[in-house]
């Protein structure tokens, strides 16, 4: 059933240490030369690409490395950047690695370089699990973005346009790992290069020179390091264009004049966008109909931070697995800034009655540190039950969403302004967006606007076509009892329950598409308690007059969040209404999107997992920086997907 899904299991690379020199048995080659390896790395990559001189001249610089390995080139670049770049500049470092090295091996390497220990420590603090996908982390106080791409190099680059300034080609040699030096790889590198981008590599193999030349690089041989007589240095002479398999999803780079942005919505989605832009120096205004944060779905008293993993949709699973690990990273950062605890990261048990979880683990080769099946001897007594499977997410947890929103608002500092208003519509006039209230009055103008107001996206004309439904959820607050006090971990089943917080367990939540009442319903309270009793029999007492809360989740028809720039609906209709005829993609032009208008919506019940990465996606689009996810993932969250599906099925109604 699962044969052929993946070429390899995503796990840490096997490394042998031979007299303090790391060696790969798989490729029969060394990662690092004990004799002059550090000096060679500095000479070949940092110096040949003139990093220290170039980084003084730009606000944003992008480096990509094929073969991230043990991170030595990155650490040396980090050191050079910190010593030379201006304080307001940003470095994006894309490290592509199909076989991630373990943190233990990186730490062992770091012990050989005491003067680099601080930089290695920063790397190890944010180093992700070996889960296939893109993992973005920040270092040096947010000045450096490390994009670790744990995947094959072609998969990482083939549909992207990273606008790289400098390339480090440092995989195992062409004779040992020919797949990393193929013509297809060189074309992908050229496609992702700015005109004038530089490239360096220790090898001088003729096939590499010819492949780079064919891809559009001016290639020359220069003096190599030490006993290596020559190496390659190359410059991207001309832009390389590659036809798109889905031109309707190709968003053109934005041209923003001022670093100011307006966000509609003060829940998890809106404030995560605000926080991320504020960290990059933007002035942010958040507009919300209420005078305080998290007054709608984000105001639930507690919820789980847990991914939703799909057995059938690899791109969806890659989005949620990357989003989950990124959310943990960001929640840890937020929690470290305050003494008031709102993030409880001690793992989550998940009850599965149909065996789906085990199939997901097998299909995607997740490491046990991400998710694991609980063996019978390790199952807590209150969870033991026949005919169901139990899994455990060691890094997951539960959190207080309203407190998270408050923490993000506080972390924005003086970069955040708040405005209370009910947004009725937005119009684009003379290069700026006019944000209008119900009376048609302009309450704000802004060059960049992000719509992040949950089910409110349906009330704004430019986003009203998005298929977002308001799904009612009722949460039940259950008092702690002598037996329920033993519950140390949150448990997910067809609902969920948290450990006690201030004497209360939170059970949620009902799921109703048609019920619109904002009042607590007795039937929903009873249903929550019935599901809880089936999952954890005898653990809870059920007194009368239980408290709770009602919220309305914003959910899309495909249950995937809607993230990115808003398409120009009339232009899309003109360009793509005949897609149902089946013409090849190259017959179509790139999609037209509304300048400066973005959306982060439909996060459903996984908002605390998905909102942070979604905010990073929007920041990357606005700032024209490398995206924090693969192109396939960008496409599945693109707001235009709903229009394209209708055009392909010839089901687009005239409006």
Q: What is the pLDDT of residues 467-492, one digit of tens each?
A: 999 999 999 999 999 999 999 999 99
Structure confidence at residue 386 (pLDDT): 65
pTM, full prediction: 0.94
Interval 253-268 mean pLDDT: 92
Interval 208-230 mean pLDDT: 94
C-beta of residue 294 within 8 angstroms of C-beta of residue 267? yes
Pick the more confident residue, 346 or 244.
346
For residues 478-489, one letter each, b for 16 or more C-beta atoms within 10 angstroms of the residue's C-beta and e for the rest, the string is bebeeebeebeb
**DSSP strands (E only) in 340-415:** 343-344, 348-352, 372-373, 389-393, 397-399
Structure confidence at residue 1 (pLDDT): 26
Structure confidence at residue 378 as a pLDDT band (50, 70, 90): confident
Helix boundaries (H) for 336-472: 356-364, 401-412
Structure confidence at residue 438 (pLDDT): 86
Indicate the pairing of strand 468-479 with strand 504-508. Answer: antiparallel
Interval 148-152 mean pLDDT: 96
Interval 189-205 mean pLDDT: 96
Interval 121-132 mean pLDDT: 96
pLDDT at 5 over 50: no
- Percentage of residues in the chain having pLDDT higher than 70: 97
Tokens 């009722």 -> residue: 474
Structure confidence at residue 118 (pLDDT): 96
What's the pLDDT tens digit per position in 430-443? 999 999 998 899 99
Indicate the pairing of strand 425-429 with strand 432-436. Answer: antiparallel
Q: Closest Cα to residue 496, out of 375, 407, 399, 374?
A: 399
pLDDT at 36 over 80: no
Structure confidence at residue 3 as a pLDDT band (50, 70, 90): very low
Give whole-number Cα distances, 17 to 68, 69, 98, in Å.
18, 14, 20
CA pair distance 281, 84, nearest whole angstrom: 20
Q: 141, exposed or middle or buried, with CB in 10 Å at 0-12, 13-18, 19+?
A: exposed
Q: 226, exposed or middle or buried, with CB in 10 Å at 0-12, 13-18, 19+?
A: exposed
Number of H helices, E strands in the chain: 17, 31
Structure confidence at residue 570 (pLDDT): 93
Domains, the chain, with CATH or none: 16-242 (3.40.50.150), 259-297+403-467+558-649 (3.50.50.60), 302-401+474-545 (3.30.9.10)
Structure confidence at residue 254 as a pLDDT band (50, 70, 90): confident
Structure confidence at residue 87 as a pLDDT band (50, 70, 90): confident
Structure confidence at residue 468 (pLDDT): 96
pLDDT at 73 over 90: yes
**Both structure tokens of 352:** 């599965």
- Indicate the DSSP class of residue 501: B
Structure confidence at residue 227 (pLDDT): 82
Structure confidence at residue 518 (pLDDT): 94
pLDDT at 10 over 80: no
Query: What phi, psi does 601 have (nearest 5°)?
Result: -150, 175
Structure confidence at residue 387 (pLDDT): 64
pLDDT at 4 over 50: no
Structure confidence at residue 531 (pLDDT): 93
Average pLDDT, the chain: 92
pLDDT at 7 over 80: no
Minimum mean pLDDT among 7-21, 115-129, 549-563: which range?
A: 7-21
SS3 310: coil
Strands of the sheet with 432-436, listed across from one edge: 425-429, 432-436, 442-446
Structure confidence at residue 2 (pLDDT): 27
């Amino acid at each position: 059933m699962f044969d052929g899904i993946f070429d390899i299991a995503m796990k840490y690379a096997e490394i042998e240490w031979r007299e303090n020199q790391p060696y790969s048995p798989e490729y029969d080659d060394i990662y690092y030369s004990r004799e002059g390896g550090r000096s060679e790395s500095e000479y070949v990559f940092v110096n040949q690409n003139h990093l220290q001189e170039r980084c003084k001249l730009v606000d944003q610089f992008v480096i990509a490395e094929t073969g991230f390995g043990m991170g030595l080139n990155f650490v040396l670049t980090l050191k050079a950047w910190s010593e030379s770049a201006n304080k307001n500049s940003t470095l994006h470092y894309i490290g592509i690695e199909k076989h991630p090295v373990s943190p233990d091996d990186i730490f062992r390497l770091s012990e050989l370089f005491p003067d680099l220990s601080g930089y290695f420590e920063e790397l190890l603090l944010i180093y992700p699990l070996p889960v296939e996908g893109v993992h973005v982390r920040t270092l040096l106080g947010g000045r450096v973005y490390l994009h670790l791409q744990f995947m094959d190099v072609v998969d990482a680059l083939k549909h992207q346009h990273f606008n790289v300034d400098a390339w480090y080609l440092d995989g195992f040699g062409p004779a040992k790992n020919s797949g990393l030096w193929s013509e297809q790889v060189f074309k992908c590198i050229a496609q992702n290069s700015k005109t004038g981008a530089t490239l360096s590599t220790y090898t001088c193999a003729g096939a590499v020179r010819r492949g780079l030349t064919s891809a559009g690089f001016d290639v020359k041989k220069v003096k190599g390091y030490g006993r290596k007589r020559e190496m390659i240095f190359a410059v991207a002479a001309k832009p390389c264009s590659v036809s798109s398999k889905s031109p309707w999803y190709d968003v053109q780079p934005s041209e923003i004049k001022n670093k100011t942005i307006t966000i509609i919505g003060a829940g998890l989605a809106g404030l995560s966008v605000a926080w991320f832009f504020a960290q990059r120096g933007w002035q942010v205004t958040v507009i919300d109909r209420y005078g305080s944060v998290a007054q709608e779905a984000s105001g639930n008293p507690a919820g789980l931070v847990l991914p939703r993993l799909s057995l059938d949709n690899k791109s969806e699973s890659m989005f949620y697995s990357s989003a989950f690990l990124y959310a943990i990273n960001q929640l840890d950062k937020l929690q470290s800034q305050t003494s008031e605890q709102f993030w409880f990261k001690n793992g989550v048990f998940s009850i599965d009655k149909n065996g789906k979880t085990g199939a997901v683990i097998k299909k995607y080769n997740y490491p046990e540190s991400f998710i694991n099946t609980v063996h019978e001897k390790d199952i807590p007594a209150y969870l033991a039950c026949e005919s169901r499977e139990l899994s455990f997410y060691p890094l997951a947890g539960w959190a207080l969403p309203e407190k998270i929103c408050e923490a993000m608002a506080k972390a924005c500092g003086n970069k955040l302004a708040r405005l209370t208003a009910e947004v009725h519509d937005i119009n684009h006039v003379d290069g700026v967006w006019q944000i209008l209230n119900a009376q048609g009055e302009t309450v704000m103008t802004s060059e960049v606007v992000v719509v992040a107001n949950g089910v409110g996206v349906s009330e704004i004309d430019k986003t009203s076509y998005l298929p977002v439904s308001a799904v009612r959820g009722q949460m039940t607050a259950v008092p702690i009892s002598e037996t329920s006090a033993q519950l140390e971990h949150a448990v997910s089943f067809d609902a969920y329950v948290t450990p006690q917080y201030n004497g209360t367990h939170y059970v949620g939540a009902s799921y109703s598409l048609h019920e619109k009442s904002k009042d607590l319903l007795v039937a929903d309270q009873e249903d929550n308690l019935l599901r809880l009793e089936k999952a954890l029999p005898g653990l809870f007492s059920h007194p009368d007059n239980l408290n709770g809360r009602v919220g309305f989740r914003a959910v899309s028809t495909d249950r995937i969040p809607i993230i990115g720039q808003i398409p120009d609906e009339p232009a899309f209709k003109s360009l793509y209404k005949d897609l149902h005829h089946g013409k090849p993609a190259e017959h179509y032009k790139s999609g037209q999107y509304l300048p400066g208008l973005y959306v982060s919506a439909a996060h459903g019940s996984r908002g605390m997992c998905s909102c942070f990465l979604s905010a990073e996606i929007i920041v990357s689009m606005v700032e024209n920086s490398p995206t924090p996810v693969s192109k396939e993932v960008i496409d599945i969250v693109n707001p235009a997907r709903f229009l394209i599906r209708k055009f392909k099925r010839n089901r687009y109604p005239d409006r």
